[in-house]
Chain A
Amino acid sequence: MSSESDQAVNEKAIIKCESVYKIFGDNAQKVLASSKGNVNAESFLDAGCVVGVNNASFEVYEGELLILMGLSGSGKSTLLRCISRLTDPTAGNIYIEGQDLLAMNSKELIELRRSKMGMVFQSFGLLPHKTVLENIAFPLQVKGLSTQESIKRAMEMAELVALGGRENYFPRQLSGGQQQRVGIARSLAVEPDIWFLDEPFSALDPLIRKEMQDEFIRLRQVLNKTILFVTHDFDEALRLADRIAIMKDGVIEQLDTPTNIVLNPATEYVRKFTEEVPREKVLKIESVMDPYSSSEEFSDLKVSKDAIVETVAESILSQEKAVAVVDANNEIVGALHPSHVINVLFGGKSDNNNQD
């Protein structure tokens, strides 16, 4: 598949983790040092330590949305907290735009957070004594902006997340979805380059969650940030992510694009997640098309290689001839036969497994 090559194309690593460990416990440092890199949850538990993150190494590229996915206790939030340095990792290195995050003193860290980072929390973390507007303006005021300027900017942000008209409400007067909109607006107020979201939609009702995900997709297109997103919801991860890191017991089991994870689960654990996934909702046309040959006869319909199968399946199935697949520049890059789509929709499972 072509997705690996995508990243290689002159992309810059904004966040870089090298062998990050987070061990909880009084003598975590010692226990980790004596384990010589062989970290095992059970033996650590005997030593009075809990393994939060176990040897996490990965990079997040500029403009990318990487999702950390795992069940509760898998260490995904801990890893995020290490990267935002809300906790200090026990070992390893983290670089933000090439700067060593762990070497920063508190002043540099504050400066970094004030200019480059924004974060959204599961339980919103809004200040109960401040109105919507004051909450959004808070990071700006902390930075030292004047009240007038920060309020003006906060108004824009409130408009951006569709909270116009509720600026003077207090958090307690808002629904969960609206509160999280405030949280999102606040995290974006300083125009950060890096955006952290820690289970932002998990506390919301399913319908609201869907709505907020759509909102998030819209914002992402407008803003173009480097995003690290934590969730326990595999569907959410598939829906939103450029790449997904699936975690279990502090270990990253697999880090890949949604398509590759569904098509080629690396471990048994990952495979269990992918089993129930309706693949037409995940796979892009690109990953199911045939190579382009000029001899082929195409119907009038053209589909983008980035389209999700489900969204175009119906129109492809109404064609008799193969459909041309085009890239962003409208160049034909492949062909897709309606029969192939049927295969994806109804039972290509064994077929995919055979490909491996």
Chain B
Amino acid sequence: MNIPDKNSKAVQFAILLAVFFILCFLIGPSESNYLWRLPPLLKELPTVINDSVQFVMFDWFPIEVYDPDIEDFEEKPLFSEITRTISSSFLFVITFIREIFLGGTKTIVAFTGWDFISENSWAVWPALPWTVIAGWAMVLGYKLQGKGLAILAAFSTGYIGIFGQWEPSMQTLSFVLIAAPVSVVFGLALGIWGHKNKWVEAALNPLLNIAQTMPHYSYLVPVIVLFGVGDQAAAIATIFFATPPMVRLTMLGLKNISPDIVDAGLMNGCNRFQILFRVQIPTARRDILIGVNQVVMQCLAMTVIASFIGAQGLGSNLMIALNSLKIGSGLEIGLCIVLIAVLLDKLSLAWANKQTDYFADLSFIKRYQFSLICAAIFVAGVIFAYIGRFMFDEDFNYLYIVPHNKGITTAPFWQAAVDWIWDTFFFTLKGFNEFLIVSILVPMKEAYLGMPVVATFLLVMGTAYILAGLRSALIVCGFLLFIAFSEFWDRALITAYMTSFSVIVAAVVGVTVGSLCAQNAFASKVILLLCDFFQTFPSFIYLIPVIMLFGITDTSVIIAAIVYALVPAIRYTVEGLRNVPAVLHDAGSMMGVSRFQRWISIEFPLAFPHIMLGVNQTVIFALFMVIIGAFIGTTDLGQLILKAISDPRGTGIGITLGLCVAFIGLAADQILRTWASERKKALGVA
């Protein structure tokens, strides 16, 4: 029989599935059967990693260091001296910024000593009154963009101040203010290097892939070993996490510059630095700024996770609130994080789009208007704070600093709302919860765990081969082998089951919603704006409402993962469908197709590769959320990573687990991306 070429893939799939089920049926659970589970050949890997880290940290390359305490030279390992120096400089800067905001003595101590402080009671760095910072933020917003941003700034800072979250917010901000610039500079430098040197680019790409698919948690474990626990470690972990998107977007931006612009720069007599800093980087500014934006977002996303290793601020408060099921105050804190994220996002974008007016012939007052207003706000804020000393009878001066949890709080209201939802919908929610767990999740989990390893390999590699070719199949095989040889195959299967369930639901819902919205220009615009808005939410925030509704169960994690992963699914669907060339629409209309026919046979097939790129993002997003969900108690890889954080010898396990998660993501990425790009090429829409 002559099977048309178009259907050959479907036939291949059918055969693949048949073999897969036969294998599942034939091979029963048995510890000794290698077809069921591969032997943990990489069992020693965590220990090896641990030992190497220990060796490098504590034994390798001892150097003579002068220790002022014992007034003598001491032998210390080079590496730990380096990391210690980095830690202490970060800590110093963080403390310094923090004390500008909140006041304190540590910076003064750093330059003098504890004795100086205890002898001189005046030696305390005063905090900036919160009214001053709020005023500055407002003026800055106005200067950069106008009224809208000023109002947003006023609202955000006002909210934070009035609701008593000022201190933790400033603590969070102080480490964002160090982590973000360092990440941007690093990312920019690496990106430029990668752009100039092909070899560097080739080396960076796989590293970036792994770095961007490693779960947040697994950055924490090695950082603890290298840099200890505390704000500085949190900042450093954040930098590791926030730099990769910056690198990637810098390289992308530099690559996309039209060669004419660089030539024009050369002909205008630019030297190498001028070409780089005045032509290339500004021209690539849109992509680079998206990078900066992503860095800020990643930093805020890390605030919560970084609190696991001792970052003070909103993150740790949110964790405590969630841990003790104080949903109300959790919501309040979450809103603070979102507000800071949105505000920083908008401020950085506005700053980037700023332009200078050369014509204005301004008077002194006008020219220095901004500085003068800021100074005036400072003076006024200080005076208010001084007056405040006499206004409030209690110990707190609300015009100086609103102490933590002493502001107005809406927590009881939210708590009441949650309670009301629980009381009213208890049976509905519980019923849904039970139904989902008992009839879908548990059977699915069991099915996943019941797969013999051979069958899994066959299914995944076969899919990779059919969709993306032999090379992809081999790469995917490599990723899977690593996981299969580690001790964590079963855990990985659980992660895979939760992720795939979330991805399937998110993709179906996302593609449906996206397709509906894409039918209409206005709806498309609105939904893309919504996507933008929800993307500024740090991932942890998604957990708050679901815990509110479903308590601490797998359902919560999966629903959070679905919601989080919906954003890329919708975005890519809308983009893909809207980007179908208009001439094809016209051609379709002239052939007399109905709207539905047009969607089914013209728009959807053409947009499908782009939609699959969205699904690819959905996989990564869902994977992240599933791992983060370990925090509210899942039994997959994430849980083990979380355990590794508190384990003094957890580095090896943490890194191995992180790689397992990264490889699941990368395997999906390899298949989907290769397929999508080839399909796009074939359709000529690349």
Measured CA separation A125–B268 after assembly (Å): 11
| Contact status A125-B358, CB under 8 Å | no
Chain A interfacial residues counted at CB < 8 A: 38
| Contact status B278-A142, CB under 8 Å | yes
Expressed in whole angstroms, the minimum distance between the Cβ of B94 and any Cβ of chain A is 33
| Contact status B358-A114, CB under 8 Å | no
Which listed residue, B260, B269, B279, touches A113 by the CB 8 Å rule? B269
Expressed in whole angstroms, the minimum distance between the Cβ of A198 and any Cβ of chain B is 9
Chain B contact residues: helix, strand, loop or mixed: helix
In B231-288, the 8 Å CB interface with A consists of 258, 260-261, 263-272, 274, 278-279, 282-283, 285
The answer to whether A121 and B269 touch (CB under 8 A), given A127-B279, A129-B282, is no
Which residues of A lie under 8 Å from residue B283 when comparing CB positions? 127-129
Chain B interfacial residues counted at CB < 8 A: 23
Residue of A nearest to B358 (CB): A151
Which listed residue, B261, B269, B271, B272, touches A127 by the CB 8 Å rule? B261
Residue of B nearest to A152 (CB): B358
Expressed in whole angstroms, the minimum distance between the Cβ of A253 and any Cβ of chain B is 27
- Against B, the Cβ 8 Å flags (1 = close, 0 = not) of A252-266 are 000000000000000
Of A131-139, A212-220, A239-247, A336-344, the one contacting chain B is: A131-139
| Contact status B282-A125, CB under 8 Å | no
Q: Is B594 an interface residue (CB 8 A)?
A: no
Residue of B nearest to A170 (CB): B355
Residue of A nearest to B270 (CB): A142
| Contact status B268-A139, CB under 8 Å | yes
| Contact status A143-B269, CB under 8 Å | yes
Residue of B nearest to A112 (CB): B269
The answer to whether A121 and B282 touch (CB under 8 A), given A133-B358, A139-B269, A186-B268, is no
The answer to whether A125 and B263 touch (CB under 8 A), given A142-B274, A147-B358, is yes
Measured CA separation A168–B357 after assembly (Å): 8
Residue of B nearest to A119 (CB): B267
| Contact status A117-B267, CB under 8 Å | yes
Expressed in whole angstroms, the minimum distance between the Cβ of A33 and any Cβ of chain B is 27
Q: Is A2 an interface residue (CB 8 A)?
A: no
| Contact status B264-A131, CB under 8 Å | no
Expressed in whole angstroms, the minimum distance between the Cβ of B365 and any Cβ of chain A is 21
Residue of A nearest to B271 (CB): A110
**Which of B268, B355, B358 has the most A CB atoms < 10 Å from its CB?**
B268
Measured CA separation A142–B358 after assembly (Å): 18
- Against B, the Cβ 8 Å flags (1 = close, 0 = not) of A106-130 are 1100110111011101111111111
Q: Is A274 an interface residue (CB 8 A)?
A: no
| Contact status A125-B258, CB under 8 Å | yes
**Which of A111, A138, A143 has the most B CB atoms < 10 Å from its CB?**
A138
Which residues of A lie under 8 Å from residue B267 when comparing CB positions? 84, 86, 113, 117-119, 187, 196
Which residues of A lie under 8 Å from residue B279 when comparing CB positions? 127
Which residues of B lie under 8 Å from residue A81 when comparing CB positions? 263
Measured CA separation A123–B262 after assembly (Å): 12
Which residues of B lie under 8 Å from residue A111 when comparing CB positions? 269
Residue of A nearest to B269 (CB): A114
The answer to whether A125 and B274 touch (CB under 8 A), given A118-B267, A143-B269, A147-B358, is no
Residue of B nearest to A138 (CB): B268
Expressed in whole angstroms, the minimum distance between the Cβ of A187 and any Cβ of chain B is 8
Expressed in whole angstroms, the minimum distance between the Cβ of A114 and any Cβ of chain B is 3
Residue of B nearest to A86 (CB): B263
Expressed in whole angstroms, the minimum distance between the Cβ of A205 and any Cβ of chain B is 19
The answer to whether A124 and B260 touch (CB under 8 A), given A106-B271, A139-B268, A142-B274, is yes
Measured CA separation A131–B272 after assembly (Å): 23
Q: A residues bordering B, Cβ < 8 Å? A: 81, 84, 86, 106-107, 110-111, 113-115, 117-119, 121-131, 133, 138-139, 142-143, 147, 151, 167-168, 183, 186-187, 190, 196
Given contacts A117-B267, A133-B358, 5 further A-B contacts (CB under 8 A): A107-B271, A110-B269, A121-B264, A168-B359, A186-B264
Could you name 26 residue pairs across A and B whose Cβ atoms are closer than 8 Å?
A84-B267, A86-B266, A86-B267, A106-B271, A107-B271, A110-B269, A110-B270, A110-B271, A111-B269, A113-B268, A115-B269, A119-B263, A119-B264, A121-B264, A123-B260, A129-B283, A129-B285, A138-B268, A138-B278, A139-B268, A142-B269, A142-B270, A142-B278, A147-B358, A168-B357, A183-B264
